[in-house]
Amino acid sequence: MSLQERDKKHLWHPLTQHKLHPDAFAITKAKGCVLTDESGNEYIDAIASWYTCMYGHCNDYITSRVATQMQQLDQVVFSGFTHEPAVKLSEALMGILPNNQNKMFFSDNGSTSVEIGIKMALQYHFNMGKKRNTLIAFEEGFHGDTFGAMSVSGLSIYNGPFEDFFLEVKRIPVPKGANNEHVLTLFKEMVKTNKVAGFIYEPLVQGAAAMKMCDAEGLNAILKYCRQHDVITIADEVMTGFGKTGTYFASLQLKTYPDIMCLSKALTGGLLPMALTTCSQKIYDAFYSDDISKGLFHGHTYSANPLACMAALASIELLQSEDIQNGIISISKSHQEFNERIKIHPKVKSTRQLGVIFALDLNVEIERYGNLRDKLFSFFMDKGVFLRPLGNTIYIQAPYVISEEQLQKVYSVIEEALEIV
């Protein structure tokens, strides 16, 4: 019996209606930018397996560092204990984060990093003796699948059955340039008429909303107003972090830095699950007290797992290397060249690009998980390229180590797909 057939007996996959999609591709190995299935077919991983394996799959530098760490310390409780991989990671991260970030709290994945960020913002005001219970978020934002993260997300396809149980959240449109003044006016009105604790946002690029991009000046104006009115700002950099927008973090391209940042995905180079919620000294100080009840009583069994910390430390070292920085520049340049020729195609409605992120919208309406989208996905896989269209949006976010030949194949397969839409 094939691995694919055995899978069907017991496994329940994410974001899958199994009655409509009973089969899963059985991947047996991965190296660099290539996934290999049980039949020996190869696929270029053009989305870095949900934006995680940015240094390539099974990166020798990361795996060797983790293998060495395995022989020294595998796991230890992080409540009341510490260890060198966590301390070294904190020191390395503080060298690349926005300079107002000073403390970091470990968890397991992007959703939990957001959950913690929300709790920090709400408890910050509680500890300061203020009653603030409302959060503001962008329309179509996505921040994860746990309840707090769902509450601040604006994509109902994921959240529909649970919306009666959410936190109090108000939504504003994404600033696009022409609407900046209108969005800021809406935001100010919400702050004046509600007890607003915090504002959560994906800086510059909304990933699950199909790589929709916002205007930096419009976002800057909102963040500046938040700072003036003690509205805690939470930057969800789970998708955008670690070089994808051209800088270490998208927040570094903004004038006002966030109070809190949420990090995961590429944090460990895709090798192991881990997340971080970082914050400014101002946030931490609101929890620092002789009153034990003012502490942040949140914890995960695998918080600061030494192996994951070592994977993250190795990944940050790679990110800062000349080879990886050159890879980011090279991919960005190739995207720009591809954009020049594809944006005039009659089947293309619009394009956008920032750093290694590229997206195009097809000139046809497609349901997010509809039949035409499924046909596109199958077409790409048949051609040896792993891409996951989001409705009528085709996007690329390949590993930094992708070769120019591999990248050109991704482009050519997309161009072929346009001819059959």
Q: Is residue 67 part of a domain?
A: no
Residues 200 and 233 in one domain: yes
Domain boundary among 319, 350, 375: 319
CA dist 220 to 29, 192, 233, 242, 249, Å?
43, 19, 11, 21, 15
Can you give the residue range of the structural domain that contains 349? Answer: 3-58+322-420
Q: Same domain for 87 and 42?
A: no
**How far is the CA of 19 from the CAs of 8, 284, 350, 377, 391, in angstroms?**
11, 47, 34, 18, 20
Asked, for residue 18, whether it belongs to a domain, the answer is yes
- Same domain? For 52 and 125 the reply is no
Query: Minimal CA–CA distance to 276: which of 78, 13, 80?
Result: 78
Together in a domain, 33 and 149: no
DSSP assignment of 2-41, as one string? Answer: -HHHHHHHH---TT--TTT------EEEEEBTEEEETTS-
Same domain, 151 and 206: yes
What's 367's domain CATH number?
3.90.1150.10
63 located within any domain:
no
Instruction: Assess whether 368 and 262 both reside in one domain.
Output: no
> In the beta sheet, which residues pair with residue 138?
172
Phi, psi of 280 (to 5 degrees): -80, 165
Considering the domain architecture, whether residues 86 and 182 belong to the same structural domain is answered as yes
66 part of a folded domain: no
Which H helix or E strand runs over 104?
A: strand 101-107
Question: How far is Cα 54 from Cα 345, in angstroms, rounded to an integer?
Answer: 29
pLDDT digits (tens), the chain, 421 positions: 999 999 999 999 998 999 999 999 999 999 999 999 999 999 999 999 999 999 999 999 999 999 999 999 999 999 999 999 999 999 999 999 999 999 999 999 999 999 999 999 999 999 999 999 999 999 999 999 999 999 999 876 777 788 888 999 999 999 999 999 999 999 999 999 999 999 999 999 999 999 999 999 999 999 999 999 999 999 999 999 999 999 999 999 999 999 999 999 999 999 999 999 999 999 999 999 999 999 999 999 999 999 999 999 999 999 999 999 999 999 999 999 999 999 999 999 999 999 999 999 999 877 766 788 899 999 999 999 999 999 899 999 999 999 999 999 999 999 999 998 8
In terms of domains, do 252 and 288 share one? yes
Contact 215, 175 (CB under 8 A): yes
Residue 95 lies in a domain: yes
What's the confidence (pLDDT) of residue 155?
Answer: 76
pLDDT at position 77 is 98
Is 256 domain-assigned? Answer: yes
Tell whether 39 is covered by a domain.
yes
**Cα 399 to Cα 342: distance, rounded to the nearest angstrom:** 21
DSSP state of 407: H
Say if residue 303 is in the same domain as residue 175.
yes
The tokens for 28 are 């047996």
Q: Judge whether 65 lies within some domain.
A: no
Same domain, 308 and 332: no
pLDDT of residue 368: 67
Give the pLDDT confidence of 51-62 residue by residue, as tens digits: 999 999 999 999
> Is there a contact between 245 and 357 (Cβ–Cβ < 8 Å)?
yes
**340 and 209 assigned to the same domain:** no
Number of domains in the chain: 2
Tokens of 207: 């990933």
Both 251 and 292 in one domain: the answer is: yes
Cβ atoms of 223 and 256 closer than 8 Å: yes
Among 261, 288, 319, residue at a domain's last position: 319
The phi-psi region of residue 394 (left if phi > 0; otherwise alpha if psi is between -120 and 50; otherwise beta) is: beta
Of 319, 347, 365, the position where a domain reaches its end is 319
Q: What is the CATH number of the domain that holds 144?
A: 3.40.640.10
